[in-house]
């Protein structure tokens, strides 16, 4: 079974740091673009950062200079290092990946979500 498993969320004070991880597992032929999205209560899900399979990154303006996305292709894992966290970063963070699946081509998968709460 193909899945994305996230870890690393939690409660942190404003100004603190957290690191999220997301590992892809199962019968996967390739891992293409990966990324992180978040959804705060009462708001739509929004892009946080993405990274291509060759390391090209893209960030939401609200996190530029504070968050860093990276990946380890050998481990099929994407990371999100979050520094200088603000209360407005509080949300459920979701991992997203475009995976090459046998007989199915490229399929988009989502993780189950991990809660990040930043207290003021």
Q: Which long-range contacts (CB under 8 A, 24 or more apart) does 62-68 make?
A: 62/88, 63/89
Q: Judge whether 12 and 118 are in contact, CB under 8 Å.
A: yes
What is the full per-residue pLDDT of the chain (120 aa) written as tens digits?
A: 899 999 999 999 999 999 999 999 999 999 999 999 999 999 999 999 999 999 999 999 999 999 999 999 999 999 999 999 999 999 999 999 999 998 888 999 999 999 999 999
């Amino acid at each position: 079974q193909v899945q994305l498993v996230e870890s690393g969320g939690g409660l942190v004070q404003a100004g603190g740091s957290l690191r999220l991880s997301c590992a892809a597992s199962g019968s996967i032929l390739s891992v293409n673009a990966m990324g992180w999205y978040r959804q705060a209560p009462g708001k739509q899900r929004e892009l946080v950062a993405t990274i291509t399979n060759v390391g090209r990154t893209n960030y939401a303006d609200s996190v530029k200079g504070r968050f860093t996305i990276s990946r380890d292709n050998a481990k099929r894992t994407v990371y999100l290092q979050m520094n200088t966290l603000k209360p407005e970063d509080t949300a459920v963070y979701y991992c997203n990946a475009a995976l090459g699946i046998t007989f199915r081509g490229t399929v988009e998968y989502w993780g189950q979500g991990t809660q990040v709460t930043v207290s003021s």
